[in-house]
Amino acid sequence: MPSLRDEIFEQPACLRALIHNQKETAQRIAEVIHQREVHYAFLAARGSSDNAGRYANYLWGAHNRLPLALATPSLFTYYKSPPALKGALVLGVSQSGKSPDIVSVLDEGRNQGCLTLAITNAPQSPLAERADLVFDIQAGLEKAVAATKTYTAQLMAIAMISAALAGIESRWEELENVPAWVDQVLRQDETIARMVQRYRYMHLCVVLGRGFNYATAFEWALKLKELTYIVAEPYSSADFQHGPIAMVEGGFPVLAVTPSGMVFETMLSMLIDLRHNHAAELVVISDNDQALELAQSPLRLPAGIPEWLTPLVSIVPAQLFACHLTLAKGYDTDQPRGLNKVTRTR
């Protein structure tokens, strides 16, 4: 039976197939969005899918001038007071497509005459049935409870829709390089397996990211929580300076996603401060030597990844880190305690 590690290693093939098979779907979705004169996106999701939504928030805003609001599903279920959604693309992102609260947001979007879109691994699911448009991420069966290949496939779907909306061919060319970059990261598997032994007894950490990789910080923290049971708190590096940094003392673990890009210098400044003024224990994912040299545990990204695509690659060493740390702690990577693959929240 496939394991979590197996599914992590399936990601290059999944992403390569998705680009090949679903480009026309992305272009058709973009065409309908343009026809409907959508003014903003309203996205409902939970768990890893919610973190994919954080990526969409940055990407569609930066590349497509499309504002995105993250829905509060309880307004639709318990409070029965949904907001007015005129002019919205109402979007549900869900691996299983079965969570009633996410489905309820699309139901209300349709009731208000909005265009609705489902990004899901289950094209026959209740979520897909409620949607005008469906993007099937085609990740195949994911047996491990913790999402890995479905998460990166959701990111790829969001990136493909962005490229289609922009109509810039060079972005499709950049997207086609993602599977090879992920392949390169996976070659660090044995190195990461040795590295995590240093953190076998870690019980608390923070995870930092900013910009496009704000999503990656949240997803890395989630993987650590659900697999290793560590209290892992994600922050923007900017928010972290507004109080939480006070808890960092000698040896406190700080995990950071710091690829090259517009927010690199502010992240690097934070790492320098944490290492030299707080004596923090740093695990750093980056393509930059200066950032990696600050870390006790550096995780190198391939050079040349455009910043907008770094979340699709930077999460992979984080997944391997969480997977191997789970094994080092003696826990089950495929069946975390108290969790199920499909969570039906209301």
Of residues 98, 143, 149, 341, which has the active-site annotation?
A: 341
Q: Kindly state whether residue 346 falls inside one of the protein's structural domains.
A: no
Q: State how far the Cα of 221 lies from the Cα of 234, in Å rounded to an integer.
A: 6
The answer to whether residue 341 is catalytic is yes
Q: What letter does residue 78 receive in the DSSP assignment?
A: T
Query: How many Å apart are CA 216 and CA 219, to the nearest integer?
Result: 5
User: pLDDT digits over 62-87, tens only?
Assistant: 999 999 999 998 999 899 999 999 99
Contacts of 199 (CB under 8 A, 6+ apart): 253, 283, 297, 325, 328
Global pTM? Answer: 0.96
Stretch among 96-100, 188-192, 263-267 having the lowest mean pLDDT: 96-100
Same domain, 250 and 130: no
Report yes or no on 342 lying in a domain. Answer: no
Rg (CA), the chain: 19
For residue 128, CA distances in Å to 90, 143, 224, 232 come to: 12, 21, 30, 33
Answer for the pair 104, 77: CB distance below 8 angstroms, yes or no.
yes
Which CATH number do you get for residue 152?
A: 3.40.50.10490
Return the SS3 of 258: coil
Count of the separate structural domains present in the chain: 2
**339 against 184, higher pLDDT:** 184
Residue 94 has pLDDT above 90, yes or no: yes
- The mean pLDDT of 209-237, rounded to a whole number, is 97
- Average pLDDT value for the chain: 95
- Torsion on CA atoms 316, 53, 257, 238, rounded to nearest 10: -170
Give just the sign of the alpha carbon dihedral 110, 112, 118, 122: negative
Domain annotation covers residue 234: yes
pLDDT at 341 > cutoff 50: no
Residue range(s) defining the domain that contains residue 113: 4-176
* Mean of pLDDT values over 298-315: 98
Same domain, 140 and 275: no
If asked whether residues 99 and 29 sit together in one domain, one would say yes
Instruction: Specify if 341 maps to a domain.
Output: no
Task: Quick: pLDDT tens for 122-175.
Answer: 999 999 999 999 999 999 999 998 999 999 999 999 999 999 999 999 999 999
Residue 31 CB neighbour total at 10 angstroms: 12
| Residues 258-273: tens digit of each pLDDT | 999 999 999 999 999 9
pLDDT of residue 216: 98
pLDDT at 154: 98
Both structure tokens of 20: 């090949």
Rounded Cα–Cα distance for residues 282 and 279 (Å): 9
Do residue 132 and residue 248 come from a single domain? no
Pick from 157, 176, 195: which residue ends a domain? 176
**What is the rounded distance in angstroms from the CA atom of residue 314 to the CA atom of residue 257?**
7
Residues 198 and 170 in one domain: no
Greatest CA separation for the chain? 56
Q: Which range (49-53, 202-206, 238-242) has the least confidence?
A: 238-242
Please report which confidence band the pLDDT of residue 342 belongs to, taking 50, 70 and 90 as the band edges.
low
Residue 256 predicted with pLDDT over 50: yes
Q: Do 299 and 325 meet the contact criterion of CB atoms below 8 Å apart?
A: no
Whether residues 51 and 128 fall in one domain: yes
Phi, psi of 134 (to 5 degrees): -130, 130
Q: Identify the top-confidence range among 238-242, 247-251, 317-321.
A: 317-321
Condensed to tens digits (0 to 9), the pLDDT of residues 48-63 reads 999 999 999 999 999 9
Residues 194 and 100 in one domain: no
Identity at 322, one-letter amino acid code: A
